[in-house]
Amino acid sequence: MTRLVVVGNGMAGARLVSEVRARDRHVKVTVFGAETWQPYNRVLLSNVVAGTMTPEQVRLLDPAWYADHSVTALPGVEVVAVDRETQAVITAGGRREPYDVLVLATGSRAVVPPVPGAARAVTFRTLDDCRTTLEAAATARRAVVVGGGLLGVEAARGLAGRGLPVTLLHLAGHLMDRQLDAEAGLVLGETLAGLGVEIRTGVVVEEILDEGVRLEGDETVEADLVVLACGVRPVTGLAGDAGLDVARGVVVDDEMRTDDPSIFAIGECAEHRGTVYGLVAPAWEQAAVVADIVTGTDKTSRYRGSRLVTRLKARSVELAAMGETHLTEDDAEVVRFSHRAAGTYRKLVIRDDRLVGAILLGATDAVGNLTQLFDRGGPLPGDRAGLLFPGVSGGAVAESPVRMPDAAKVCQCNNVTKGQIRACWESGARDVDAVAAATRATTGCGGCRDAVEGIVGWLCEQEGVSA
């Protein structure tokens, strides 16, 4: 019997365990998690901060699942060393757990900037961070979030959703500068401002004080609560100490295997072909590949990399960005529409008649169709406006269930197609929750929920049944 040990019980590790059990009930599985929580969906933490979801609602697996599937889960037990010679992991308490196959899914940790007073702030990365933030927010009069990337925007929106005045500080000239161009960042900032978040870009934090944040130039931004959302860094110490090849992340090949053939790495700690992916969909794709190989279900399974789609779906803020969003008319064909008063910005980046990038902010009815075109890399229809406004000018309307092919991918995080949703519906799943339970659609970033609801509603309407 193969002994599989998984170090890390977050989104990648938990997914691997469930993928392995879906393929083989006989592999002996032990999973260690440094956090005491059962595995949870980190993507939805801003909803916990905002109070629209509870910690229980973002949980991925519960203790009963582990018992029912004969998996030994050890939350709150940290692995501190890997003995490659004897093939065993060693915990902080001295326990030795032997393995035939070891998978590192250690994830990332929050970056804490080297500024005086940083210990006074809280990070935004874990459920424990959320608990600390909520305790502080209960008595705070003002909050500051440092970092205007995806995590910072989510944290600021979550706190503002609780009625707390929030100032969002960002070093770059516009928000989410890695994913968005300057105009999209401006529109996003104006949208957040309308929701109670004051935006300050191009500022340098010099010190975190008891009474707020001191900026370069000696200006102080007052706050009782300071949240750091300054990015994440792969957790690679365990792999490095074990002598594995580590660059920015743990270096793996197309099998997600390290330079030790008995050790794999997946998720945010893994570096594949020079890239460390910080989103959930690649981690879950990697987990499926390793599960195929470890169980022998498909020894030819390989991970070839992911085409990234960043989704932000905080309350009242909808955003999708994919590919090469920063290219201009000098480098590619660019089609854009901006309506700042409505908080809407849409941009297509096209090269050689292929969609290589897109930004959709505000109403995102075109996301499904554009994501499919971006994923497949196929030729585009001549009517570019129809891509930005499906159904308005006779262009592509793949978001309409009638026109959407069964092969169209609806849930990017879990690779669920319209055809799979249809098959699930025909098997008796008559609402979104039932479809989610069967296919996992909507359980990643949650951005596809409206599309799944539309498909289920359309199917019910066709057959004259109640959704």
Q: What was the pLDDT predicted at 247?
A: 98
CB 324 within 8 A of CB 356: yes
The Cα-based distances of 358 to 36, 177, 191, 348 in angstroms read: 39, 14, 19, 5
Q: Number of helices (H) and strands (E) in the chain: give both, helices first.
A: 13, 27
> Across residues 429-446, what is the average pLDDT?
81
pTM of the model: 0.86
Cα torsion 170, 173, 175, 179: sign: negative
CB 448 within 8 A of CB 411: yes
Pairing of strands 225-228, 71-75: unpaired
CB 455 within 8 A of CB 401: yes
Instruction: State the pLDDT confidence band at 391, using cuts at 50, 70 and 90.
Output: low
Fold of 118-230: FAD/NAD(P)-binding domain (3.50.50)
Instruction: State the pLDDT confidence band at 394, using cuts at 50, 70 and 90.
Output: very low
> Across residues 195-222, what is the average pLDDT?
96
**Domain spans in the chain, listed from the N-terminal domain onward:** 3-109+233-295, 118-230, 318-397, 400-467
3-109+233-295 and 400-467 agree in CATH topology: no
Q: Which two tokens stand for residue 193?
A: 């401002």
Fold of 3-109+233-295: FAD/NAD(P)-binding domain (3.50.50)
Q: What phi, psi does 463 have (nearest 5°)?
A: -100, 0
Please report, as a single letter, which amino acid is at residue 138. A
| 62 CB neighbour count, 10 Å cutoff | 12
> Across residues 449-464, what is the average pLDDT?
78
Instruction: Label residue 215 exposed, middle or buried (CB < 10 Å: 0-12, 13-18, 19+).
Output: middle
Fold of 400-467: Arc Repressor Mutant, subunit A (1.10.10)
Q: Which two tokens stand for residue 4?
A: 């599989």
Q: What was the pLDDT predicted at 401?
A: 67
Instruction: State the pLDDT confidence band at 75, using cuts at 50, 70 and 90.
Output: very high
Tell me the three state secondary structure of residue 64: helix
Pairing of strands 143-146, 166-170: parallel
| 236 CB neighbour count, 10 Å cutoff | 23
> Across residues 96-113, what is the average pLDDT?
97
Pick the CATH number of 318-397 from 3.90.1150.10, 2.40.128.110, 3.40.50.300, 3.30.390.30: 3.30.390.30
The Cα-based distances of 319 to 26, 180, 280, 336 in angstroms read: 42, 10, 16, 15
Q: What was the pLDDT predicted at 396?
A: 39
